[in-house]
Amino acid sequence: QKEVEQNSGPLSVPEGAIASLNCTYSDRGSQSFFWYRQYSGKSPELIMSIYSNGDKEDGRFTAQLNKASQYVSLLIRDSQPSDSATYLCALWMDSSYKLIFGSGTRLLVRP
Amino acid sequence: EPEVTQTPSHQVTQMGQEVILRCVPISNHLYFYWYRQILGQKVEFLVSFYNNEISEKSEIFDDQFSVERPDGSNFTLKIRSTKLEDSAMYFCASSSRGQTYGYTFGSGTRLTVV
């Protein structure tokens, strides 16, 4: 079973819409979760972190965590063409002290 | 804003040659990492480094790989005898507190083995 699973996409949304990106994980003990954005040919860029169940908002981004369901999501409100990128879900592995990434979901925002 | 610096941005090498990828982490960070990303694939953990020693390494990080922090600022990844399948983007990352704040990644080195 993969440690972090994401739908590869692409997820296509019109400009101004809400983009919803989802991630499931297998390690029940994981406590820290991160969303990174990666533009083609560039390095991952940290967008948000979330540690507690519920929602965490930062500008147009909202991260949601449900530990019982082992589910993390990222909502992007008022999507812009500049949001078009691959979004990587990552979790911290306490057992081995490292960050593990999902394969990413490609988001396309249509003008 | 502090950043992680990687050099070179692109390296082309012949199969069997040794390469050294260089990184300058953020100055007050204590945890250092190397990841790689083969084109079109996921970002994969290679190795973590703390307190001048390897904390964790993946099964990818075999005897051909080594890391060093030769002075107070640089963090290097050496591949002793490169293979075609080592062609990838290599990312260095650093962190101040391990898991709590996530990583800051460098801009990466694209390694092409021919």
Secondary structure of chain A in the HEC alphabet?
CCCEECCCCCEEEECCCCEEEEEEECCCCCCCEEEEEECCCCCCEEEEEECCCEEEEECCEEEEEECCCCEEEEEECCCCHHHCEEEEEEEEECCCCEEEECCCEEEEEEC
The structure tokens 């083609």 sit at A40
Whether residue A93 is predicted with pLDDT greater than 90 in this model: the reply is: no
Chain B positions in Cβ-Cβ contact with residue A98 (cut-off 8 Å): 33, 45, 48, 56
Instruction: Work out the pLDDT band at A2, boundaries 50, 70, 90.
Output: low
**Range B27-46 average pLDDT:** 93
Tokens of A90: 């990552």
Chain B residues within 8 angstroms (CB to CB) of chain A: 33, 35, 41-45, 48, 55-56, 89, 91, 98-108
Whether residue B98 is predicted with pLDDT greater than 60 in this model: the reply is: no
Cis omega (within 30 of 0) on the bond before A14? no
Question: Mean pLDDT of all residues in chain A?
Answer: 93
Whether residue B2 is predicted with pLDDT greater than 80 in this model: the reply is: no
Tokens of B97: 């507190």
Contact B33 A46 (CB under 8 A): no
Length of chain B: 114
Contact A19, A11 (CB under 8 A): yes
pLDDT at res. B46: 97
Size of interface A-B (CB pairs under 8 A): 54
Task: Return the residue of A nearest to B43 by Cα.
Answer: A101
Residue B22's H or E segment, with its range, is strand B19-24
Chain A residues within 8 angstroms (CB to CB) of chain B: 31-32, 34, 36, 38, 42-46, 49, 88, 90, 92, 94, 96-104
Find the CB nearest B48 among A32, A44, A98. Answer: A98
